[in-house]
């Protein structure tokens, strides 16, 4: 059994949000690159510290809705991201790309500062978006 599978099975109350293949038992650094508008709609790529492509965030043009698809390195859709309209701080909800409407996670800006790049991420089971108490 690999480390990721062992980690996923050792915490049965916390399922892997997308897949156990994206679980690692250590901190991992990513680099996110913003791509200039392309004809295929690919906007962002996320790479690991060795430069290997992990994810692509795609948005199809033209669209009236803020919907993005997060794909793996083989361009297979993983989750659909949609921005909630009419909120002060941006809130993004991720649902599985297979059509299941259950939220995988919700992400919102940590700060009201528009220049801030930090986000709070809550698993889909945490509907109230509350932080754990220590």
Share of the chain above pLDDT 70, in %: 73
Q: What is the mean pLDDT of residues 19-27?
A: 75
The domain locations on the chain are 30-123
pLDDT at 68 over 50: yes
pLDDT reported for residue 5: 39
- Report the mean per-residue pLDDT for the chain: 75
pLDDT at 73 over 50: yes
Query: Could you report the per-residue pLDDT of 44-54, keeping only the tens digit for each?
Result: 888 988 899 98
Looking at the structure, give the CATH architecture of the domain made up of residues 30-123.
Answer: Beta Barrel (2.40)
Tokens 């965030």 map to which residue?
57
- For the whole model, what pTM was predicted? 0.67
4: confidence class by pLDDT, cuts 50, 70, 90: very low
Higher pLDDT, 7 or 49: 49
Structure tokens at 132: 């754990």
32-69: string of b/e by CB count within 10 Å (b at 16+)? Answer: eeeeeeeeebeeebebeeeeeeebbbbbeeeeeeeebb
Query: Could you report the per-residue pLDDT of 104-120, keeping only the tens digit for each?
Result: 888 888 887 778 778 88
């Amino acid at each position: 059994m690999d480390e990721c599978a062992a980690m996923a099975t050792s915490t049965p109350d916390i399922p892997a949000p997308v897949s156990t293949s994206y679980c690692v038992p250590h901190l991992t650094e990513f680099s996110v690159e913003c791509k200039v508008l392309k004809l295929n709609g690919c906007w962002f790529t996320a790479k690991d510290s060795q430069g290997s492509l992990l994810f692509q965030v795609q948005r199809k043009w033209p669209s009236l809705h803020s919907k993005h698809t997060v794909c793996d390195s083989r361009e297979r859709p993983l989750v659909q991201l949609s921005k909630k309209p009419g909120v002060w701080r941006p809130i993004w909800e991720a649902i599985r790309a297979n059509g299941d409407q259950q939220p995988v996670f919700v992400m919102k800006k940590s700060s009201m500062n528009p220049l801030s790049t930090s986000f709070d991420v809550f698993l889909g089971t945490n509907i109230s978006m509350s932080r754990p108490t220590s």
